[in-house]
Amino acid sequence: MLGISAMNPFEKTFAVFLLLFMFSMILSIAVLQIAAGILMMTWLSRIAFDKDYHYRKTPLDLPVVVLAGIRTISVFTSIHPEVSLSYLWKELPFYAMFFVFAQNIDVTNKRFMKVLFWAIIASALIGTVYGIHLHIITDFQERAKSITSGYMTFSMFLCALIVIVIPLINHLSKRPWIV
């Protein structure tokens, strides 16, 4: 149905929580953190118990490690390290999510990848409608924002979504939107 019928139990568990993670990305930080934790535990249990598991090296492994390292160093060189440290503890699991994704997503499973993309798009649409509702209808906010983030994070999320959606629209429609 979702492209997960041929997956092993580790992959199925991962796929379900990945969809939850993607759908809750802009909707709920609490659900996002729970899904991220379960995704990491699923990956670690796969490493421990799946005899067919092997690490897949990617070209982005080193840049992500360097980014996380620089971010960690920046915390201790900031003006208020105690404040920055509390943010770092929230961010580090999401840096680790790169490795969880790179090791567990089968990009050749087109059916599952489509479901994953549609989960991201649905999440963004719900978040966008909510942000616009807050701004226009209720006059509660001076700008549109998401449920869980501020204006800038919401804008960056929507810009990243455009990068995903336009090629998908090109693929699904007869008339290309971009050349």
For the chain, what are the domain ranges? 56-105
The type of residue at 111 is R
**Mean pLDDT on 9-22:** 76
Tokens 């929580």: give the residue.
Answer: 17
Cβ neighbours for 42, distance < 8 A, ≥ 6 positions apart: 10, 13, 14, 17, 104
Output the pLDDT for position 148.
Answer: 64
Q: What is the distance, to the nearest Å, from the Cα of residue 30 to the centroid of all Cα atoms in its chain? A: 14
SS3 for 178? coil
**Mean pLDDT on 78-98:** 82
Please write the tens of the pLDDT for every residue from 132-171.
777 777 766 677 766 666 677 777 777 777 776 776 666 6
Contact yes or no for 32/24 (Cβ under 8 A): yes
Output the pLDDT for position 159.
Answer: 76
| Gap between the Cα atoms of 90 and 5, Å rounded | 34
Alpha-carbon Rg for the chain, nearest whole angstrom, is 18
Contact yes or no for 97/39 (Cβ under 8 A): yes
